[in-house]
Structure 1
Amino acid sequence: MATGGPESGRAPGSGKEPQRPGSVRLTSRRLLVAIAVLGAAIGYMMVRAIEAGGGVAPAVSWLTLVAWAFLAALLFAAARNTRQRVQVRRERIEPQRAVFLLLIGKASAFVGALCTGVYAGFALSFLGGVSASGPRNRVIMAGLAAVISVLVVTAGLLLERACRIPEDPDETP
Structure 2
Amino acid sequence: MILESKNIRLRLVEESDAEFILSLRLDDRYNKFLSSVSPDIEAQKDWIRKYKDDEHSSIQYYFIIERLDGTPCGTVRIYDIGNDSFCWGSWILNENKTRYAAIESAFLVYDFGFKQLGFNKSHFDVMKGNKGVINFHTRMGAFKTNEDEINEYFEITAEAVKNAKEKLADKLR
Same fold (TM over 0.5): no
TM bracket, shorter-chain basis: under 0.3
Decide which structure has the larger Cα Rg and report it.
1
Q: TM-score, normalised by structure 1?
A: 0.22
Q: TM-score, normalised by structure 2?
A: 0.22
- Which structure's residues are more often strand, by fraction? 2
